[in-house]
Structure 1
Amino acid sequence: MEFYRFDQEVGMQITKFDSNFVMSRLIQTSKDAHIGCMHLPANGVVGYHQAVSPQLMIIMSGEGQVRSGNGNEVRVKAGEAVFWAKEEWHETKTAAGLTAIVIESDELTPAVHMPVREPISE
């Protein structure tokens, strides 16, 4: 399990075409990718399962806890992303609710685009 940041502080200021915004790059793939938006309600759970392919969970709002294998739960919040390798066992849960974009593809290399963040155990 790897953790990344995509908050405004790690993005790039864009001024091309008279623009004025910050862009935080997430991922780039040349292979097929499945991209979805996951809405976990209060006390929601994505049950403990094995990743079918590499997957990146990009937390847009809320907060929760993730774990991989038999490891400790790690707190995650909006502005952070979690990456699981193919066949890695993992679980996500939240007390207050969480909304995330999930990208699944055989070709994901988030470390190329986002800075790593150190995990904070519960």
Structure 2
Amino acid sequence: MDFYKISKDSGKRISKFNSDFIMSRVIQTDKATNIVCMNLEENGIIGYHQAAVPQLLVVIAGEGYVRNDKEEYIKVQSGDAVFWEKDEWHETKSDKGLTAIVIESVELNPSLFMPLKK
């Protein structure tokens, strides 16, 4: 389980087409990719299971806790991204609610685009 930070500090300023914003890349794939939005309500849980393919959980709102095969839960919040390798056991839960985008693909490699969270 690796943790990444989605932040404008690792982004690039875009000015093309009279634009003025910072774009932070998350992932790029050439193969089939599933992208879903998961909404955990108060006391919601994505149960303990193995990742069928590499998986990236990008927290966009709220906060919660994740774990892998260890019993220890680690807090995550908006702006955090958690990466699990294929076959890695994991679980996500939230006491207050959490919204996340989940990206699944055989070729995910978030370290190409995002810095590890310190």
* TM-score exceeds 0.5: yes
Q: Which blocks of at least 5 consecutive residues in structure 2 are unaligned?
A: none
Q: Which blocks of at least 5 consecutive residues in structure 1 are unaligned?
A: none
Equivalent residue number for residue 14 of structure 2 = 14
Please report the RMSD computed on the Cα atoms of aligned residues, expressed in angstroms.
0.9
Equivalent residue number for residue 25 of structure 1 = 25
Letter paired with 2:52: V
Q: Secondary structure at the match of 2:13?
A: strand
Equivalent residue number for residue 93 of structure 1 = 93
> 4+ runs of 1 displaced by more than 2 Å?
7-10
Q: TM-score, normalised by structure 2?
A: 0.96
The reply on whether 1:65 has 2:72 as its aligned counterpart is: no
CA–CA distance in 2 between the matches of 1:29 and 1:8? 22
Letter paired with 2:18: D
CA–CA distance in 1 between the matches of 2:73 and 2:8? 26
CA drift at 1:70: 1.7
Q: TM-score, normalised by structure 1?
A: 0.93
Sequence identity percentage? 53
CA–CA distance in 2 between the matches of 1:55 and 1:102? 7
Q: How many residues align?
A: 118
